[in-house]
């Protein structure tokens, strides 16, 4: 299982990559493996101010549908156009490359102290092993 060391993680299996005041968010390799083949992603919160733990969107797989939660508070800036139905319609990118081309959304972080609550790669690895 791939758990990049340069990312932060949540107990709900989202990952966060911080660049300045922007957080790129996706689901982990573990999560995409548990979900199975992802067939649909819906994030209709672009422009919304969300609080940490709010529902960011939904991920539908062959096996199940799952909510995705925002790991930090802030404004949803964009959704990956490659994975959504309106644009690229290739949600399988999340299965193929969960930490790269399969990113889901970007959020402008409003409270950087919330990053301290996220898990390190080592702590996340302990959680899923």
pLDDT of residue 1: 80
pLDDT of residue 126: 96
- CA 91 distance to own-chain centroid: 13
In a domain, 120, yes or no: no
In a domain, 123, yes or no: no
In a domain, 79, yes or no: yes
pLDDT of residue 87: 57
What pLDDT tens digit does each residue of the chain (129 aa) get?
899 999 999 999 999 999 999 999 999 999 999 999 999 999 999 999 999 999 999 999 998 999 999 999 999 999 999 997 665 588 999 999 999 999 999 999 999 999 999 999 999 999 999
Residue 52 class from Cβ within 10 Å (0-12 exposed, 13-18 middle, 19+ buried)? middle
**Separation CA 73–CA 49 (nearest Å):** 7
In a domain, 122, yes or no: no
**This prediction's pTM:** 0.92
CATH number at residue 14: 2.40.50.100
**Separation CA 17–CA 118 (nearest Å):** 11
In a domain, 125, yes or no: no
Q: Are strands 105-109 and 22-27 parallel, antiparallel or unpaired?
A: antiparallel
- Tally the domains of the chain: 1
In a domain, 2, yes or no: no
pLDDT of residue 85: 63
Q: Retrieve residue 62's tokens.
A: 């062959």
In a domain, 13, yes or no: yes
State the residue range of the domain holding 75. 8-112
In a domain, 129, yes or no: no
pLDDT of residue 37: 94
Within 8 A by CB and 6+ apart from 30, the residues are 1, 3, 13, 128
């Amino acid at each position: 299982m791939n758990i990049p060391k340069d990312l932060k993680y949540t107990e709900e299996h989202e990952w966060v990559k911080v660049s300045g005041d922007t957080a790129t968010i996706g689901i982990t390799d573990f999560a995409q493996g548990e979900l199975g083949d992802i067939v649909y992603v819906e994030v209709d919160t672009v422009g919304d101010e969300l609080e940490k733990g709010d529902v960011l969107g939904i991920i539908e797989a062959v096996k199940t549908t799952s909510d995705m939660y925002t790991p930090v508070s802030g404004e949803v800036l964009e959704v990956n156009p490659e994975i959504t139905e309106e644009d690229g319609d290739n949600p399988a990118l999340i299965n193929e490359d969960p930490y790269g081309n399969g990113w889901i959304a970007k959020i402008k972080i409003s409270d950087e102290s919330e990053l301290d609550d996220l898990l390190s790669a080592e702590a996340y690895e302990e959680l899923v092993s």
